[in-house]
Structure 1
Amino acid sequence: MQSQTRKGMLIIAIANGLLLFGYGLSLPFFTIYLISQRGLSASMAGLIIALAGVSRCVSSAISGELADVFGRKTVMMWGLFSQIIAMLGLGLCIELKVQVGYMLLCYFLTTFLGAFFRPASNAWVTDNTTPRERVEAFGLIRIGLNIGWALGPAVGGFLVRYSYSMAFYFTGILYAVTILYLGRLVVDNHAPCKSRKPSFVSTLLSLKDTRLAKICFYVVLITAVNSQLVVGLSIHCNRYLHMPEYYIGWFFTINGLVTVFLQYWASKWAAKVRLSTGMLVGCLLYAVGFGSVGFFDSFLLIGFGVFLAGLGELIVSPGEQTLVSNIASRETRGRYLGMLMVFYNLGSAVGFFGAGMLGDYVAPRYLAGPWLIVGVLAVLAGIGFFRMRYSLTNEEDGKMTAPVPIKKDTVTLH
């Protein structure tokens, strides 16, 4: 990756890190807040988080389409500004202990607006990289994201012991810092598509590309698995193992630290194999990591399961973004990446709701049951991604063919 390209990726990586640090301070603990402070059942809390995920699906599609039409930076900045207002409003609702309905309205606004950034920023990354550079570029973004994820929940776990509202206020402040940072450093070289108006029907019709549709379906499966880290693990450890909140925060931190220290090497390895092969390996690591959690009751052993799942995430997350980027044209990158985030958030919603249902109805009968189901889903996703190789070109699947050497004409002297 060229130095100028790497500099641009570092700017976006740092921005993502700041945003996820802010996210980790507060939102992962909202499930615990609803259950422990507002008396909601695990299944009801899971349903609320799932509905918020559905709202992110809608906003992801909107973001990707708007990013193609109006530019990447414009969508990133306005999305963040709107989210700050909603986040501060949510913190105020929690502090004043308003009716649950008003608080949830602010929460849904926060999650809806929070989905505007990633499709636009991913399209910016794709604009400024070649297919050969994208696995490494998205891997670098993952490092930034997970530095934030490593720090945010660890700090948030201590903050919420004293004040849930304070955690949300700090999140709003970090988002404001990110706006100032991006506004100063990011340059958008994308030429907006003035020849077309935003068309969300056309966004949905992009699924007529069967390769995109298949990738999105497998993303739903593996994202439902990944979302167990936030809701499923919180319910399992807090309700059934009676672990304190800061233990759960440290599990999030372990997941983040895996990426901080190992993403570079994972990206180097992934660049040497087909994307479809790497995705299979990543999904199998998810299956072993999360599938084993239900059999453990100690911090260290559950932490090891989270570590293995984190290794899977190192490969899967950059891989799915690279796959979609590689099959999209320059004019549809925002739209395709927006659709990817639609199904990413749909998978999160399915996972959040499923975690609540499994925690209420399966875990009391067989504690390991929810995690075995999660492991099976990860295996199915891995098989699906692996079979994608039959519909991808070598370049789209990350296998770069070596150039054919040019034979020089030879002259025979007599």
Structure 2
Amino acid sequence: MQRETKRSMILISAANGLLLFGYGLSLPFFTIYLITQRNLTPSLAGLVIALAGLSRCVSSAISGELADAFGRKNVMMWGLFSQIVAMFALGLCIELKVNVGWMLVWYFLTTFLGAFFRPASNAWVTDNTTAKDRVEAFGIIRIGLNIGWALGPAMGGFLVRYSYSMAFYFTAILYAVTILYLGRLVQDNHIPCKSRKPSFVSTLLALKDTRLAKMCLYVLLITAVNSQLVVGLSVHCKQYLHMPEYYIGWLFTVNGLVVVFLQYWGTVLMSKIRLSTAMLLGCLAYAVGFGSVGFFNSFLLIAFGVFLAGVGELLVSPGEQTLVSNIASRETRGRYLGMLMVFYNLGSAVGFFIAGLLGDYVAPHYLPGPWLIVGAVAVLAGIGFWRMRYSLTDSEDGKTNVPVPIKKDTITLN
């Protein structure tokens, strides 16, 4: 990767890191807040988080279309500004202890608006890299994200012991800092596609590309597995093992630090093998890591399981983004990456909801049960990704350094 390209990736990686640091301060603890402060059951709290996740599916599709039509940076900036307002309002609702219904309205708005950034950001990365450099580029982005994820929950776990609302106020402040940073340092060289206007029907029709449709299905499965870190692990450690919130925050930090310190080596490995093979290995690491959690009752052993799941993440996340980028045409990068985020957020929503159900109805009878189910889903996703190799060219699957040919968009553009 050229020096100027790497510098650009570091800039956008830092922006992603600031955002996830802010997210980690507050939102991972919202499930615990609903259960301990508002007396919701784990299954009901999981349903709330799941419904909010579904709203992110819609906004991800919207973001991808708008990024193609109006530019990547514009969508990132306006999405962040709107989220700041919603985040501050949510903190105020928690501080004033308003009716749960009103508080959830602002929570849904926060999650809906929060999904605008990533599809536009990923499209920006694709615009500024070649197929050869994309695994490394998305790996750099993951490092920034996980520095934020490593620091945010660790600080948030201590902060929410004193004030849940203050955690959300600090999140809003960090998002404001990110807007100022993006406005000054990040340039958008994307030329909006004038041949079409945003069409959300066409966004759904992108799934006529069977390769994209299969990738999205497997992304849904493995994201449902990954989402257990936020809801499933929180419920397991708090409700059944009676760990304090700051212990749970440190588990999130372990997950983040794995990617920060090992992402480079993961990228080196991925550059030597097919992306589909790397995805299989990552899913198997998820399966072993999360599948073992239910058998442990100490912080250190659970942290080891989280460590293995983190190894899975550092292979899966840049791999799925690179694969989708490689099969998209220049005119549909935002659309394809937006659709990827639709299924990513749908997988999160499904995972959050299932985590609540497993915590309520399976764990009381057999504590390792939920985690064995999660591990089995990870294996299924891995097999699916591995079988994708038969429908990908060598360059699309990362086997050679031959640039991916530019393909005409096969979807009718409106």
TM-score by length of 2: 0.97
Aligned match of 1:251:
251
2:160 partner amino acid: V
Task: After superposition, give the CA deviation of every residue in 1:334-365 in whole Å (9 maximum; x if it has no partner).
Answer: 00000000000000000000000000000000
Aligned match of 1:189:
189
How far the C-alpha of 1:301 sits from its partner, in A, is 0.3
1:185 partner amino acid: L
Aligned match of 2:171:
171
Look up the SS of the partner of 2:191 in the other structure: coil
* 1:62 is the counterpart of 2:62: yes
* 1:37 is the counterpart of 2:37: yes
* 1:24 is the counterpart of 2:17: no
Look up the SS of the partner of 2:227 in the other structure: helix
Preserved CA contact (<8 Å) 2:287 2:309: yes
Aligned match of 1:372:
372
How far the C-alpha of 1:271 sits from its partner, in A, is 1.0
Task: After superposition, give the CA deviation of every residue in 1:92-111 in whole Å (9 maximum; x if it has no partner).
Answer: 00000000000000000000
How far the C-alpha of 1:65 sits from its partner, in A, is 0.3
Aligned match of 2:357:
357
How far the C-alpha of 1:270 sits from its partner, in A, is 0.6
**Moved beyond 6 Å, runs of 4+:** none
How far the C-alpha of 1:197 sits from its partner, in A, is 1.0
C-alpha separation in 2, matches of 1:267 and 1:182 = 26
Describe how 1:7-406 pairs up with structure 2 within 5 A: 7-400=7-400
C-alpha separation in 1, matches of 2:138 and 2:167 = 28
How far the C-alpha of 1:268 sits from its partner, in A, is 1.0
C-alpha separation in 2, matches of 1:360 and 1:251 = 22
2:320 partner amino acid: E
How far the C-alpha of 1:175 sits from its partner, in A, is 0.1
C-alpha separation in 2, matches of 1:133 and 1:96 = 49
C-alpha separation in 2, matches of 1:88 and 1:362 = 37
C-alpha separation in 2, matches of 1:364 and 1:402 = 53
1:2 partner amino acid: Q
Task: After superposition, give the CA deviation of every residue in 1:260-288 in whole Å (9 maximum; x if it has no partner).
Answer: 11001111111111000000000000000
Preserved CA contact (<8 Å) 2:282 2:312: yes
C-alpha separation in 1, matches of 2:70 and 2:271 = 32
How far the C-alpha of 1:126 sits from its partner, in A, is 0.1
C-alpha separation in 2, matches of 1:390 and 1:76 = 35
How far the C-alpha of 1:393 sits from its partner, in A, is 0.2
Task: After superposition, give the CA deviation of every residue in 1:134-177 in whole Å (9 maximum; x if it has no partner).
Answer: 00000000000000000000000000000000000000000000
Look up the SS of the partner of 1:197 in the other structure: coil
Greater C-alpha Rg = 1
1:188 partner amino acid: D
C-alpha separation in 2, matches of 1:199 and 1:101 = 33
Preserved CA contact (<8 Å) 2:138 2:318: yes
2:341 partner amino acid: M
Preserved CA contact (<8 Å) 2:395 2:402: no
Look up the SS of the partner of 1:188 in the other structure: coil
C-alpha separation in 1, matches of 2:271 and 2:139 = 10
C-alpha separation in 2, matches of 1:45 and 1:393 = 43
Look up the SS of the partner of 2:131 in the other structure: coil
Aligned match of 1:406:
none
TM-score by length of 1: 0.97
How far the C-alpha of 1:196 sits from its partner, in A, is 1.1
C-alpha separation in 2, matches of 1:199 and 1:112 = 19
How far the C-alpha of 1:402 sits from its partner, in A, is 7.5
Aligned match of 1:407:
none
Relative to structure 1, the CA distance from residue 155 to residue 56 in structure 2 (aligned partners, 3 Å threshold; closer, same or farther) is: same
C-alpha separation in 2, matches of 1:395 and 1:128 = 18
C-alpha separation in 2, matches of 1:163 and 1:117 = 27
How far the C-alpha of 1:207 sits from its partner, in A, is 0.1
Preserved CA contact (<8 Å) 2:132 2:402: no
The root-mean-square deviation of aligned C-alpha atoms, in Å, is 0.8
Unmatched 5+ stretches in structure 1: 404-414
